[in-house]
Structure 1
Amino acid sequence: MRFSGRYEGYSLANLQKDMLAGLVVGIVAIPLAMAFAIACGVRPEYGIYTTIIAGILVSIFGGSKYQIAGPTGAFVPILLGIVMQYGYENLLIAGFMAGILLIIMGVCKLGRFITFIPRPVMIGFTTGIAVIIFSGQIANFLGLHHLEKQETFFYNMKEIGTNIAELNPYSILTAFLCLGIVIAATKWLPRIPGALLGLVISSLIATLLFPNQIETIGTTYGDIPHQLPDFQMPEFTWDTVLMLLPAACIIAALGGIESLLSAMVADNMANSKHNSNKELVGQGIANMVAPLFGGIPATGAIARTATNIKNGATSPVSGMIHGIVVLLVLLFLSPLAFHIPLASMAPILMVVAWNMSEKHEFIHILKTKTGDTLVLFLTFLLTVFTDLTTGVSVGLLLAFLLFIGKMSKSLRVRKVLPDPVDSYVKSDIVANGKNCPQISIFTVEGPLFFGTIKEF
């Protein structure tokens, strides 16, 4: 059989490599899928559903050969806020609407414009999201599982401080054990998924040494269903659409940015080239279908995509196999999730937050003490202490104003004296200039727009 397009030259050897890569990244994705779902305020199996559906559909319809899609840390504060304000059912509607918007963006060929967002804004909100994810897991790390969740960083920290006397030492021991295993495995056993290893070992030890002393997925959420949910179309009303449109726009924008960044990382690692507009369409299809089966919004996952490439992926088949692996685990091994401690999920997300924080570039931009420093710091603070929408909006506005100011200073206007030697001045104009003192000739170098009007 001969293949064309992305599968041109595909062989049995390629299939074997894709199967291995898909197996590894599928195993990596399972604990992350549950952890991200819990962090978003929904049941853990919804993250599994998302990984299966988005992972397969983005591989089929997307524009990158190596993209791995699923729930990601970048979405956590946004989706948690939507769930707290509107509920899980409306989150599904917002995700479906975001899928439509992503398809429109792809069809209108807006892929390349998404990457024009200033780097300080990107670093600011990414690091802000990392802080929100990290701080959001402190309660589970300490065993404070029954705290009332708040929408802001400040009130969540206040709630933890108020209830700190109720911390559970067994949860803390379990969390530190899992954290230590994840860090050690990452350093000394890079071929083994550290998150899965930490989750399994800490769960076994907690179950054997202090059963019934800490909260688990089972005690908090009950049994995990070992099947995909039935197809169910969300109930749309005009009022609901208007209410959720801002949330859907945020999901679509962030999902588009994250997926294209992930695709660019894949291009750099594998010396390939993705189709940004096709990738947006693929992400849109996945986000339209996932909510129909209970899934939450998804996007390209940079770390899982990198894992896919490092393990020898050669085509989108590896992404499809990754989704199939997660499906098989759901069908046959989901009862085991009952015994996973919530304290074991917390350090996994904390490590994810640490890795996504862009800490080195954050510090570098702060040290430059330029306009970028102000944009970065303001975006970061507003993302953490208000919300992502405010942080990004203000950051973009400030970056835009600073850019206009910089461009307005770059214009150079120079008066040209009438001189027949000047090759770019017509001789008749020069002659007229000699006889007509009211005529002046200027050269303009730089951008000519409303911000430079004062130069005239």
Structure 2
Amino acid sequence: MKKALMARFAGRVDMPDFSIANDEKLTPARLRIELLAGLTVALALVPEAVAFAFVAGVHPLVGLYAAFLVGLVTALIGGRPGMISGATGALAVVMVALVAQHGVEYLFATVVLMGILQVIAGVLQWGKFIRLVPHPVMLGFVNGLAIVIFLAQMSQFKVPGSIENTGHGMGGGEWLSGMPLYLMLGLTALTMLIIWGMPKITRVVPAPLAGIGIVAALVIGLGLDVPRVGDMASIKGGLPEFHIPAVPLNWETLEIILPYSVILAAIGLIESLLTLNLVGEMTGKRGGASQECIAQGASNVLTGFFGGMGGCAMIGQSMINVKSGARTRIAGIAAALFLLTFILFAAPLIELIPLAALVGVMFMVVIGTFAWNSLKILAKVPMTDAFVIVLVTVVTVLEDLAVAVVVGVIVSALAYAWNNARRIHAKTYATPEGAKVYQVQGPLFFGSSDGFIELFNPSDDPSVVIVDFADSRVVDQSALQAIEAVAAKYETAGKSIQLRHLSRDCHKLLTKAGHLMIDSDDDPDYEIAVDYGVRTGILGDH
């Protein structure tokens, strides 16, 4: 049993793959692009990790260690080269209550359990269910996340030390004013201008890195008094140390951490898998959903034992990485190692970088992430799809990503069920023998079962009625109940009903339902038309 489980686990994880599209070799030029993209991402990770640590109510190094460990493990064994993972706001807003009530040690234990749940989800291949997320939900997801990223940058336009962080960085604090505000806006705009214009001049250096470097050099050279990374917190620290969470190993502890672990695991996987799909669309290469689940879980288990707050995929940093030209795992690995280097050796230098430069990078990410074409198609797509796009966008901003996606999927599913329920109808004709045939059109399921029953008129029909399912499918128990209800009405009227042209799956479903269908020589592939009788009283009262 244990060997089989380990074999299945190993089958979900591929060895690190450094190849890029079309099997292009790892050339010096490619290596340069990957390393520079990793450096750019690492610089953008620093303020994000620190800010999310503040949101969760933990020390900044807890967020930085999470960014390093989660980023490194997922880059090595994740399901999609090019993705970047680390500490995120979506998880931090859930963690804050746990830390406030029980302390940081319970957070570490929660992160470990969260990772275990994610690994289980990967082994069981639950990641494949991300395919059920409709495209309108994806559009709402990217739009909402773009707005969240934008709002998160607003805290950088407030006086350092006055900010009361919330999930989107908008809580309290005193806004900058006068010359500090003008400098912040000007440097942010300059960074954005450099990122926009640099590709037109050269692609030797990733545009975001060029923007950060030029603006940082300008600020340091001129001695401008603007908020810098060091104003948020010191990022200097040592190597993360192995640490078993200091919590009692009892049922009470499990009752505390399990609800948080389930929520965090769900949010982390949803955000990671949606980012996986988004990056796949941008690069034209599919990723492995189950492998990504396992990678996220393994990274969080490791992070929990090394004093990190856990994490998941980061769409903003992933966009920076991909748009900087990264296509392999090298960039993600490099980003994690650069981040660790910053913590160990380069903290004084990194702390001099103006926040305006990093805000400018994130604003360009917002512009690139938001699905602007979705605004054009709102009037062209079905009203339900347009509603789902707007709904998911709003819920993502006001609540969180997981709730938004679940709500969007539910609304889309209900709309789909309603549309299919209205499609049920039947054509009728008489056979030479005098039987009446109802040729059912549309799927028979819980949404259309009432409409199906209303198609029949037992009092006026002849003694033999045939229901032809050549253009229909019997889907669920509600459909079986509807068939039996119709049969019971004809039985009460002293008439018989027969089923024709059942597909193989419909035949199997009907046969399984307590022999609802009277046995007959069956050819479900329609080579001959077999008429099946129906037994009543199998599924209970109607």
Q: What's 1:385 paired with?
A: 398
**3-state SS, counterpart of residue 426 of structure 2:** strand
Residues 243 and 400 of structure 1: is their aligned pair in 2 closer, same or farther, counting only changes over 3 Å?
farther
State the TM-score, normalized to the length of structure 1: 0.77
CA contact (8 A) 1:39 1:136 kept: no
Q: What's 1:442 paired with?
A: 467
Deviations 1:227-277 (A, max 9, x none): 322222334455554445454334333433443344445555666553321
Question: For 1:306 and 1:133, how far apart are their aligned partners in 2?
Answer: 12
Residues 134 and 207 of structure 1: is their aligned pair in 2 closer, same or farther, counting only changes over 3 Å?
same
Counterpart pick for 2:113 among 77, 91, 97: 97
Q: What's 1:70 paired with?
A: 85
Aligned-residue offset at 1:41: 4.1
Q: What's 1:225 paired with?
A: 236
**3-state SS, counterpart of residue 366 of structure 2:** helix
Residues 345 and 295 of structure 1: is their aligned pair in 2 closer, same or farther, counting only changes over 3 Å?
farther
CA contact (8 A) 2:52 2:92 kept: yes
Aligned-residue offset at 1:408: 1.0
Q: What's 2:410 paired with?
A: 397
Of 129-138 and 360-369, deviating more is 360-369
CA contact (8 A) 1:70 1:300 kept: yes
Q: What's 1:31 paired with?
A: 43
Residues 246 and 275 of structure 1: is their aligned pair in 2 closer, same or farther, counting only changes over 3 Å?
same
Question: For 1:303 and 1:36, how far apart are their aligned partners in 2?
Answer: 10
Of 193-202 and 277-286, deviating more is 193-202
Of 286-295 and 310-319, deviating more is 310-319
CA contact (8 A) 1:121 1:396 kept: yes
Tell me, yes or no, if structure 1 residue 58 matches structure 2 residue 69: no
Structure 2 residues without counterparts, runs of 5 or longer:
1-13, 439-460, 487-542
Aligned-residue offset at 1:282: 1.4
Q: What's 2:360 paired with?
A: 347
User: What amino acid is the match of 1:339?
Assistant: L
**3-state SS, counterpart of residue 63 of structure 1:** coil
Aligned-residue offset at 1:295: 3.2
CA contact (8 A) 2:121 2:293 kept: yes
Question: For 1:359 and 1:25, how far apart are their aligned partners in 2?
Answer: 25
Q: How many residues are treated as equivalent by the alignment?
A: 431
Question: For 1:267 and 1:386, how far apart are their aligned partners in 2?
Answer: 26
Deviations 1:200-247 (A, max 9, x none): 443444445455x444333441x3225322222334455554445454
Question: For 1:187 and 1:270, how far apart are their aligned partners in 2?
Answer: 23
Q: What's 2:422 paired with?
A: 409
Residues 13 and 406 of structure 1: is their aligned pair in 2 closer, same or farther, counting only changes over 3 Å?
closer
Question: For 1:202 and 1:321, how far apart are their aligned partners in 2?
Answer: 23
Tell me, yes or no, if structure 1 residue 14 matches structure 2 residue 14: no
Aligned-residue offset at 1:26: 1.6
CA contact (8 A) 2:208 2:320 kept: no
Rg larger in 1 or in 2?
A: 2
Deviations 1:391-412 (A, max 9, x none): 3443333222212211212334
CA contact (8 A) 2:89 2:167 kept: no
Tell me, yes or no, if structure 1 residue 280 matches structure 2 residue 290: no
Residues 219 and 352 of structure 1: is their aligned pair in 2 closer, same or farther, counting only changes over 3 Å?
same
Q: For residues 226-265 of structure 1, what are the structure 2 equivalents within 5 Å?
A: 226-236=237-247, 238-239=251-252, 241-264=254-277
Question: For 1:347 and 1:9, how far apart are their aligned partners in 2?
Answer: 31
**3-state SS, counterpart of residue 132 of structure 2:** coil
Deviations 1:337-386 (A, max 9, x none): 23234444433333333332323225523653511122222232233234
Aligned-residue offset at 1:108: 0.4
Aligned-residue offset at 1:79: 1.6
CA contact (8 A) 1:97 1:288 kept: yes
Residues 25 and 254 of structure 1: is their aligned pair in 2 closer, same or farther, counting only changes over 3 Å?
farther
Percent identical: 23
State the TM-score, normalized to the length of structure 2: 0.66
Question: For 2:204 and 2:19, how far apart are their aligned partners in 1?
Answer: 28
Q: What's 1:430 paired with?
A: none
Q: For residues 286-297 of structure 1, what are the structure 2 equivalents within 5 Å?
A: 286-297=299-310
Specify which structure has the bigger relative contact order, considering alpha-carbon pairs within 8 angstroms and separated by 6 or more residues.
1
Aligned-residue offset at 1:284: 1.2
Q: What's 2:65 paired with?
A: 49
More helix by share: 1
Aligned-residue offset at 1:54: 2.5
CA contact (8 A) 1:226 1:331 kept: yes
Question: For 1:178 and 1:152, how far apart are their aligned partners in 2?
Answer: 19
Residues 239 and 95 of structure 1: is their aligned pair in 2 closer, same or farther, counting only changes over 3 Å?
same
Aligned-residue offset at 1:29: 1.3
Q: What's 1:134 paired with?
A: 150
**3-state SS, counterpart of residue 336 of structure 2:** helix
Question: For 1:305 and 1:128, how far apart are their aligned partners in 2?
Answer: 16
Question: For 1:181 and 1:280, how far apart are their aligned partners in 2?
Answer: 35
Of 363-372 and 22-31, deviating more is 363-372
Q: What's 1:120 paired with?
A: 136
Residues 175 and 338 of structure 1: is their aligned pair in 2 closer, same or farther, counting only changes over 3 Å?
same
Tell me, yes or no, if structure 1 residue 107 matches structure 2 residue 107: no
**3-state SS, counterpart of residue 165 of structure 2:** coil
Aligned-residue offset at 1:297: 3.3
